[in-house]
Structure 1
Amino acid sequence: MLSWLAVCCSGVLHINAAYKGPRWQFYLFKPLTIALMMLIAVFGGEPNGYTYLILAGLLFSLFGDVFLMLPKDRFIPGLLSFLVAHIIYSVAFWQSFEGSMVWWLPSLIGAASVIVFLLLLPNLGALLIPVGIYITVIAQMAWGAGEFWMSAGTQPAAYAFGGALLFMVSDTVLAFERFKGPFKASVLLVMTTYFCAQGLITASVLSL
């Protein structure tokens, strides 16, 4: 419980610093929040393949966080880091899936992803293909988590699916902020959903 309280405090301090400063607090607490989740997974998760994959996904997410918050924005390296994280999460979820697929789920996720892509399309420019690939990867990651949940019906699977969906929400808001223009509540929305997404995915290793 205290470890999750530390995660929450670290996340809140980062979001607060994004609006009010100081800058050192902004730079410190974003990666620290993910690092604390990694420690929770290390000490609370079973030493198995699923836990190791989630840890690897968190590590690449941490790299992505650092790239995206550098004073000189490294958007492409950040995008690639999160792309790798989503691929790793996807492997973890699909490896945990057993049974028959529910085909209406990818239809819903795919339709939502296409709508987001079409809304962003006029503003993507040279990033059209990288963003399209990223949207495809995160959509199939959420699909894998959803199939995992519907086949297993367990609490860890529910955490994984909830985290994957929140990740889609976070990245969608971030994409609209970057390509359509910033708005005041964007940081709060992006980071709250992002930290909750990573927290749920981390929690999925604790009940296995």
Structure 2
Amino acid sequence: MLSKTERQFAVIYGIIVLFEIISGSIASLQNLHYIAKPAILISLIFFFYKAGKDLSQPLKNLMFSALICSLLGDILLMFVGESAHFFTLGLVAFLIAHVMYILLFLKHRNKTRSPLKFGIVLIIYALSLFYLLKDSLGDMLIPVAIYMIVILSMATTAYLRKDSVNILSYGLVFIGALCFMISDSILALNKFYQPIPFSNISIMLTYALAQLLIVLGILKLKN
């Protein structure tokens, strides 16, 4: 169960996300987009700071690192229209964020659980996605391939927490990791394969949900 404070924050967080979607979709509100998008991660960082005081320092350090790198990635991707280099830099920022999540999730790995079956499913998914993207990637082929490997590893380490932490923490983090994969997949398809209707909405909703669920899942380690 989520606490009253967590439920209240989820409502506030949802309002911020909705504000970002609206400001990013309406041309006359584009300037507000530069406030709304960073506000999503900033609110999450402050919430985790207040709610995660009882967690161990190593856990908090990794969580803050992942959230701050994600915030940096969000900011960089807002300026992709100015230069393609911002996309690459944003990709690097999120790659580091995923590495931080991997290290965080590995702290509660269930060493008796094999990643093989789940890993095979992820590999099939990744190869199918890569097949669609490969002809359009150009110089981004290797960076995107590396990014895909890292995010698949992030999802796998989230899966490997099963039976090592309480079921609520496991479920929230695992679903969050899958949402992150979906968000990045939509972004990649929209950018490198073909435009997807309402992609900005689906990318933002799955991304924001992913970050929220992972934070809530880590907070549930206190239970």
TM range (shorter): over 0.9
1:52 to 61, 73, 79: 61
State the 1:151 CA deviation: 4.1
Q: CA deviation at 1:150?
A: 4.8
- Counting aligned pairs with the same residue, the percent is 29
Aligned-pair CA distance for 1:156:
1.1
- Correspondence 1:15-26 to 2 at 5 A: 15-21=21-27, 22-26=29-33
Q: Which residue of 2 aligns with 1:66?
A: 75
Q: TM-score, normalised by structure 2?
A: 0.89
- List aligned pairs for 1:163-182, cutoff 5 A: 163-182=176-195
Cα distance, 1:207 vs. partner?
1.3
3-state SS, counterpart of residue 135 of structure 1: helix
Q: Deviations over 1:105-148 (max 9, x none)?
A: 11111221121111111111111000000000000100000111
Tell me if the contact between 2:132 and 2:193 (Cα under 8 Å) persists in the aligned partners.
no
Matched, 1:108 2:118: no
Is the 1:41–1:205 Cα contact (8 Å) retained in structure 2? no
User: How big is each residue's C-alpha offset from its partner over 1:40-72, in whole Å with a ceiling of 9 and x where there is no partner?
Assistant: 111111331223212210110000000001251
Per-residue CA deviation, residues 77-118 of structure 1 (Å, 9 max, x unaligned), is: 000000000000000011211331322111111221121111
Q: Output aligned runs, 1:131-146, within 5 Å.
A: 131-146=144-159
Cα contact 1:100–1:151 (8 A) shared by 2: no
Moved more, 167-176 or 103-112: 103-112
Structure 2 match to 1:158 = 171
State the structure with bigger RCO (CA 8 A, min sep 6), 1 or 2. Answer: 1
Structure 1 spans left out of the alignment, 5+ residues: none
Question: Partners of 2:40 and 2:11 in 1: how far apart?
Answer: 11
Pairs aligned (count): 208
Give unpaired runs (5+ residues) of structure 2: 1-6
Partner of 2:200: 187
Matching residue's letter, 2:190? E
Partner amino acid for 1:92?
Answer: L
TM-score (norm 1): 0.95
Partner of 2:122, secondary structure, is helix
